[in-house]
Structure 1
Amino acid sequence: MEAKRAKESLVINTDQVMINDLNNYNTLFGGVLMKKLDNNATISARRHARVKECVTASTDSIDFLHPIHQTDSVCVESFVSYTGNKSMEIFCKVIAEDMITGHRRMAATAFLTFVALDENKKAVKVPAVIPETNEEKFLYQSGEERAKTRRIRREHSSQLTEIIELEKPWEEGADKNVEISKLG
């Protein structure tokens, strides 16, 4: 399987901020931005792996750096920054541009991990990535460390799911130490 250049998976999507995308602070809802990130990253992953289906394995981090306002456009850029055997790390950056002044600022960065699937919904091997720009090289060189962190976090999540309570605290037989407050 031949390695691919990072820029081959580059996806750029620019949108305006609509009033129904705003929270009570008149800034873009974080969840609206998260959806934009996941959509962009999915296309980057599919473009890199050249498969019909890629699934989000994890949203590793989203750092909200500056608020995005209604007067801004929001540009999401994504590309494959690092690969494992069957997983792809997608780096996303969000650039907000004030449409009146033209001032641009980095509004957010994010890392998501995707797995490519075959027609039987089984994970498949993905091509390695070739970084070329300084940005791509920096992300690639630090990618192995982020992959180790993901493995540790996944192990922790696995352990946590073994002890998480599934009973409803208000039902018979639930842990009696849970206090239920009543509105009155």
Structure 2
Amino acid sequence: MLKKTSTDSYTVMNELVLPNDTNTFGNLMGGRLLYWMDIAAAMAAQKHCNRVVVTASVDNVSFKHPIKLGDAVMIEAKVTRGFNTSVEVRLDVWAQDLPSGTKIKSNEAYYTFVALDKEGHTIAVPELTPETPNEQVLYDGALRRRQLRLILGGKMQPDDATELKALFIESQKG
């Protein structure tokens, strides 16, 4: 199967925050942002897999900075690692006040998608080859994040999470 890079899946999605997108404080509603993030992440996953994908999980999404009415939202998404039938996608969300030109990072998250064939069965996904030191860090961390997701979802026993355990064993040796 063909190997791919994060660049192959890189997706940028832009939205303008309109009154219907905001709460009573004039801030973008969290649910609307999660909806936009899911779309951007799905596009990145589909570019990588060349298949239909479905959302399997969403990691912790932290809201670091409110996004205001009238701001432009830029969502950057790219695959960080391919597993057997799933891929992890990292998202970075930026809020930009267009008149002033200021831009600030608002959110980041990891989404997991599963690739499906035409009958709706899971199917193998391409491997990902990291090209930069930062991509290698994200790639390596993806296995630990996957193990944590599986443990929290009741699909893996903590004792079987060797990559995750290694973090704690190494820190105890020092």
State the TM-score, normalized to the length of structure 1: 0.81
2:18·2:70 contact (CA, 8 Å) conserved in 1?
no
Aligned to 1:174: none
Aligned to 2:172: none
1:60·1:111 contact (CA, 8 Å) conserved in 2?
yes
- For 1:101 and 1:135, locate their aligned partners in 2 and report how far apart those are by CA, in whole Å: 30
Larger radius of gyration: 1
User: Aligned runs of 1:32-181 on 2, under 5 Å?
Assistant: 32-51=32-51, 53-155=52-154
Shift of the alpha carbon at 1:83? Answer: 1.7
1:56·1:115 contact (CA, 8 Å) conserved in 2?
yes
Shift of the alpha carbon at 1:134? Answer: 4.0
SS of equivalent to 2:53: strand
State the number of aligned residues.
155
Q: Which amino acid aligns with 2:63?
A: F
- For 1:61 and 1:10, locate their aligned partners in 2 and report how far apart those are by CA, in whole Å: 21
SS of equivalent to 1:69: coil
- For 2:39 and 2:32, locate their aligned partners in 1 and report how far apart those are by CA, in whole Å: 11
State the TM-score, normalized to the length of structure 2: 0.85
Superposition RMSD on alpha carbons, in Å?
1.2
Aligned to 1:12: 12
1:8·1:48 contact (CA, 8 Å) conserved in 2?
yes
- For 1:78 and 1:18, locate their aligned partners in 2 and report how far apart those are by CA, in whole Å: 22
Shift of the alpha carbon at 1:65? Answer: 1.1
Larger % of helix: which?
2
- For 1:119 and 1:87, locate their aligned partners in 2 and report how far apart those are by CA, in whole Å: 16
- For 1:54 and 1:128, locate their aligned partners in 2 and report how far apart those are by CA, in whole Å: 16
Contiguous gaps of at least 5 residues in structure 1? 157-184
Query: Quick check: 56-65 or 25-34, which moved more?
Result: 56-65
